[in-house]
Amino acid sequence: MSAVKRNFVTIKGVKDGLVFLLNDQCEFDELVSELRHKLEHTHQQILTGPIIHVNVKLGSRQISTEEKELLMETIRCQGNLIVQSIDSDEAMDPSPEASSDLKLMKGMIRSGQTVFHRGNLLYIGDVNPGGTIISTGDIWIMGSLRGMAHAGSEGNTEAVIAASHLRPTQLRIGEVISRPPDEWGIEEAFMEFAYLEGNKMQINKLTHLHKIRPGAMEFKGV
């Protein structure tokens, strides 16, 4: 007689999509295994129809970049599910030391996909048109930004957005939304960053960053 399997994954429907509540006490491999099983065998009804945004709650569990990517890939491969956020309880109220860390992520953000991080974010890869990248701190993109980027999403007006190739559909810092790139007077923006000055979006070369934002990049890992 087989043992009764614990319920490590709870899937709840909310107004804006789905919330995945993941047990924070079990082994990570067990968690992923049950998540994959539920998506493939017991919750097929949510895999049909329009795009559904998913918010993943980790409880007190802290995971590595590789583990986060595995979770995102497990969910994304189910067709119409798009990961909106992956949060732990600790990340909801970070200490000053924790919020100074730089999070490294990599990949490609395609149309309809959203990546969110609480803190400063270094993203290695491209953000395609229709894709969105959001951070409560700075956003640094080693690649092309051709979608939408929102830095300082919880009101940090000192945040910056930088990219190897800056050609976004929209930039937002705090509550300030940028003008379209063709109004910046720059045809092709390489190694540029956006920042707020007098509640207006400004674009400048990364070589001038230390003059305009002296405290930028002064966090762990940089």
Task: Please determine, for residue 91, whether its predicted confidence score (pLDDT) is greater than 70.
Answer: no
Alpha-carbon span 11 to 214, nearest angstrom? 44
CB 97 within 8 A of CB 129: no
pTM of the complete model: 0.55
**Predicted confidence (pLDDT) per residue in 161-184, tens digit:** 999 999 899 999 999 998 665 556
CATH architecture of 94-222: 3 Solenoid (2.160)
Position 206 scores a pLDDT of 87
Domain residue ranges of the chain, discontinuous segments joined by +? 1-93, 94-222
Q: Which of 9-13, 56-60, 184-188, 200-204 has the lowest mean pLDDT?
A: 184-188
Position 17 scores a pLDDT of 81
DSSP 143-195: EEE-SEEEESTTS-TT--EEEEEE--SEEEETTEEPPPGGGTT-SSEEEEEEE
Position 185, amino acid? G
Position 24 scores a pLDDT of 86
Position 124 scores a pLDDT of 94
**Predicted confidence (pLDDT) per residue in 200-221, tens digit:** 888 889 888 888 877 665 544 4
Q: 1-93, what's its fold? A: Transcription Regulator spoIIAA (3.30.750)
3-state secondary structure of 205: strand
Mean pLDDT of 16-40: 87
